[in-house]
Structure 1
Amino acid sequence: KNTTEYCTVERINLDSETEKYFYGTWKVEKLLGFANSWNDASEYPTGQKFIGDEIIIKKDFFSSKGLKNYKKYQYELKNPLYEITATCYNSLSFYRLYKIDIPDLNENDVVKAVGISDPSTELRIPAGLSFLVVNNDRLILLSEATIFELKKITD
């Protein structure tokens, strides 16, 4: 199978490079856009309820309680399970799978989708919160069908 044309969709553990980049405290910096399949501009016209909020991602702790305007995103997990759920080897394969245009995504960027699960149930945290790691140097929050750029505040 030609990996450059497709995304590998399998649940795997984070590799050490992704782990090193992914862990930290992140601030929601800006709204990037919406999936083409569903634009919830009524809820997130400018992402104003997310901008400036924080998410904590550590090896032994995850908290999205910093997304304070949304009750459904109030998660705190001890020893969360982080898994790469898909790896896309270029912007076209990413778009084919997710139907989302990420601004400034270069043709050969590698995008890893990271999901978070509760260790006691092994169920993904609901409410459609997941993350996209681009080349281990950019983190994007995917909330339902809306994407936001995150900026690392602390490691």
Structure 2
Amino acid sequence: MKKILLVCIMIMLMLSSACENVETTSTTKTSNTSNNRVENATVSKGADTSQTNTTSEHESETDESIIPKNTTEYCDGVWTNLDSETEKSLYGTWKVEKLLGFANSYNDASEYPTGQKIIGDEFKIKKDFFSSKGLKNYNDYQHEVKNPLYRLEFICYNSDSFYRLFKTDPDPLNININDKVKYIVINDSSTKLGIPLSFFIVNNDRLILLLEATSFELKKVTD
């Protein structure tokens, strides 16, 4: 009888010990699994945040590059005499360097859309004298005016407002989103009539000749 009791007690102790080992192992595994999930979640969250931040920064840079700094929708009509800064950008002897593009109007005395024979020709813009006699292939554009009346008519503060007014694609003219463009016309002082040549001054460092519907890049030869 005593032997039977001892055997039973030993069996119970062994079963109890086995249960404890199983519980401990299960708890450890559960704990490790939970920790791994937390760590993985943290890493993943960090990676996602980094990616999101990078994407946001990139989108922000892109957006800034295509948003006009000056958001004026329309060009300002000023109709004034030239200021000293504009005079400096306009006066000089200029050579016609290359054809740039066309307005959405075909009222042009040159050979639209190809064959403009003025590339390399020169003309003079002085304070008291204007001569386009150098544009020798087109009689309609040959003018010589003493004491010309130069007028600043419009100022456009971005390429969108420029297009709205002149109906000319700014891209072929290399006019970018934040460029400031001044529109200059010339009148004969004796008749007060305008001549069919006008100019775009871009950022005070480029001059574009406008022959009614056709635009040309100019290069200064002398002041």
Do these two structures clear the TM 0.5 threshold for a shared fold by scoring above it? yes
SS in 2 for 1:9: strand
- Using the alignment, how far apart are the partners of 1:137 and 1:83 within structure 2? 18
The letter for the 2-side match of 1:153 is V
Within the candidate set 117, 135, 140, 1:72 is matched to: 140
Percent sequence identity is: 73
Question: Which of the two has higher C-alpha Rg?
Answer: 2
Matching residue of 2:194 = 124
- Using the alignment, how far apart are the partners of 1:47 and 1:9 within structure 2? 34
Moved more, 131-140 or 44-53: 44-53
Within the candidate set 76, 89, 98, 2:157 is matched to: 89
Structure (1 or 2) with the greater helix fraction: 2
Greater than 6 Å deviation, 4+ residue runs:
none
Q: Say if 2:71 and 2:158, in contact at 8 Å, map to a contact too.
A: no
Structure (1 or 2) with the greater strand fraction: 1
The letter for the 1-side match of 2:215 is I
Matching residue of 1:101 = 169
Q: Say if 1:39 and 1:146, in contact at 8 Å, map to a contact too.
A: no
Indicate yes or no: 2:185 matched with 1:115.
yes
Matching residue of 1:15 = 83
- Using the alignment, how far apart are the partners of 2:116 and 2:141 within structure 1? 16
Deviation at 1:108, TM superposition (A): 1.0
Q: Deviations over 1:77-115 (max 9, x none)?
A: 111010011111111100010011233211111111100
Matching residue of 2:124 = 56
Q: Which has the higher contact order (CA 8 A, sep 6+)?
A: 1
Q: Deviations over 1:52-82 (max 9, x none)?
A: 0111000010001000001111211111010
Matching residue of 2:40 = none
- Using the alignment, how far apart are the partners of 1:137 and 1:81 within structure 2? 22
- Using the alignment, how far apart are the partners of 1:25 and 1:19 within structure 2? 13
Deviation at 1:44, TM superposition (A): 3.6
- Using the alignment, how far apart are the partners of 1:74 and 1:37 within structure 2? 21
Unaligned runs of 5+ in 1: none
Within the candidate set 212, 217, 222, 1:144 is matched to: 212
- Using the alignment, how far apart are the partners of 2:159 and 2:105 within structure 1? 17
- Using the alignment, how far apart are the partners of 1:44 and 1:149 within structure 2? 17
